[in-house]
Structure 1
């Protein structure tokens, strides 16, 4: 497997924690500790444009294509909805004074994971709170949605992954998944398997069709796994870690295919926090504490 670094996007003044696909295939958004929300073009790394500036760190972004709204989770304040084309705020919601770790949407329902252990369930059209899911006293860190099995997976800092019914929001399964905080959860593109990654540096796969029986466990990194994402064709998976590396895996077998690091590929010098695998020319993006976003071409 060949991995080539194509570009570096710089301009953030603090660590970059969030990446989100943009309204066009060749665009994306980033945000981080400096409160800046930036729109970029993949073919023009010199043309970043500031779409919003908020006074606190941003860990979570969500772009709503139908309404052309960018949801920005501002820590300790709540949600800002931005029209990225006109760079204006079109709505806001003072949810909480907790940190916002993840935002995911299914149909007209938005799920927001908070550091106080609550998952807030919102009506996207009305911008109104429907429910508060409180299943733990420790942080809700990450969310994944399975529209096939109609389930919602949430990873928590109490080491558990909890599976909720997407319609009734009833708790269906509690997985004693890891021995430390669960930082990332993602369903495979066929929605048959749930992948979880943790501060314990382990990657696990769970059978979503068989009551979440554990399929496989891999000691994947030296330090915490911050994020996992899949290639557009679903054949590959990438993990980002606090150990400064990105690793590429066979999505079916969890076989390690490539290590992308500073020594061999001019990778990041500090923690890699977030990934985004774009369908635009199969580019993999990585965001880091080093304040940059790197763009990688992954090929066989």
Structure 2
């Protein structure tokens, strides 16, 4: 049976001089930011995708960005000096927050609590106030890296994926440990809650995609060998009907969020996809667009027709 989805690449965005590690939505539905190994933070507009605008340059690799909608500021997880707060409109770093722990793989934001969570390679999870950026708490449940952090506001929980193969479910306010989810056999690179909060999806270096039921004490609901190599990122469409995964195997895959069935593979052979690891995805509010970035230094914009 053929896939009901057609995919077309509509733009290849170039300008980064090293691997592109992260993508982050901006203040408007058509704006997003990218950053990577070259330390450049670039703003892009989907309405005119070829024209990237350099908004900041930092002195080392950036693995994580986080947009703060309330203040219109962008957090830059800088691999040497901690966190930098970027005023994108003024194109200037307005604050640098020194955090120990090595590189930062993810930054999450719980707007309902006015908290920011930063995960580091030494396993620490640092909580900052999203208003004044003061450090409120530092917690370390493992000496292995924190790779990914997801917030479930309705349940007031965090899901944190670690390089010790575990996912830890924490109280979002106190960081108290509620559960440890075992199932992956390698580093957990990505965790994301479904928009309705009913499921937690995780992807790992073991190439497995796992689905956990939040209202059933995070029981494992499904497990899939979804890719050939590490799953780097999982992202949901804004309407919650689909999700996409990307991998070190150079492909992007689109899935049905109700049945967890694979719908489409986007790769180099069939769609002029990426030539190396696909690191991060951004699914804009317009459901028929998907953006991916790669070690090949490019960002691809895809038109997806359901």
Task: Tell me which residue corresponds to 1:73.
Answer: 77
The one of 13, 16, 19 equivalent to 2:20 is 16
Q: Distance in 2 between matches of 1:195 and 1:168?
A: 23
Q: Distance in 2 between matches of 1:62 and 1:270?
A: 24
1:83 aligned onto 2:90: no
Deviation above 3 Å: which 4+ runs of structure 1?
none
Q: Distance in 2 between matches of 1:85 and 1:126?
A: 19
Q: Distance in 2 between matches of 1:25 and 1:291?
A: 24
Q: Distance in 2 between matches of 1:168 and 1:289?
A: 37
1:165 aligned onto 2:167: no
Q: Give 1:177 deviation, angstroms.
A: 2.8
The one of 3, 8, 25 equivalent to 1:4 is 8
1:235 aligned onto 2:272: no
Q: Give 1:168 deviation, angstroms.
A: 2.3
Deviates more, 1:139-148 or 1:123-132: 123-132
Q: Give 1:286 deviation, angstroms.
A: 0.2
Q: Distance in 2 between matches of 1:274 and 1:127?
A: 26
Q: Distance in 1 between matches of 2:230 and 2:143?
A: 21
Q: Give 1:45 deviation, angstroms.
A: 2.4
Say whether the 8 Å CA contact 1:237–1:248 is kept in structure 2. Answer: yes
Task: Tell me which residue corresponds to 1:267.
Answer: 273
The one of 146, 151, 161 equivalent to 1:145 is 151
SS at match of 2:139: strand
1:222 aligned onto 2:228: yes
Matches within 5 A, 1:1-300: 1-107=5-111, 108-280=114-286, 282-300=288-306
Q: Distance in 2 between matches of 1:287 and 1:187?
A: 21
SS at match of 1:209: helix
Q: Distance in 1 between matches of 2:139 and 2:199?
A: 24
Q: Distance in 2 between matches of 1:127 and 1:251?
A: 35
Unpaired segments of 5 or more residues in structure 2?
A: none
Q: Give 1:126 deviation, angstroms.
A: 2.0
Q: Give 1:97 deviation, angstroms.
A: 5.0
SS at match of 2:297: coil
Q: Distance in 2 between matches of 1:281 and 1:158?
A: 34
Q: Give 1:281 deviation, angstroms.
A: 5.8
Residues 281 and 234 of structure 1, relative CA distance in 2, 3 Å threshold: closer
Residues 183 and 281 of structure 1, relative CA distance in 2, 3 Å threshold: closer
Q: TM-score, normalised by structure 2?
A: 0.96
Q: Give 1:298 deviation, angstroms.
A: 1.3
The alignment yields a C-alpha RMSD, in angstroms, of 0.9
When the two structures are aligned, how many residues end up with a matched partner?
300
Residues 54 and 234 of structure 1, relative CA distance in 2, 3 Å threshold: same
SS at match of 1:126: coil
Q: Give 1:169 deviation, angstroms.
A: 1.6
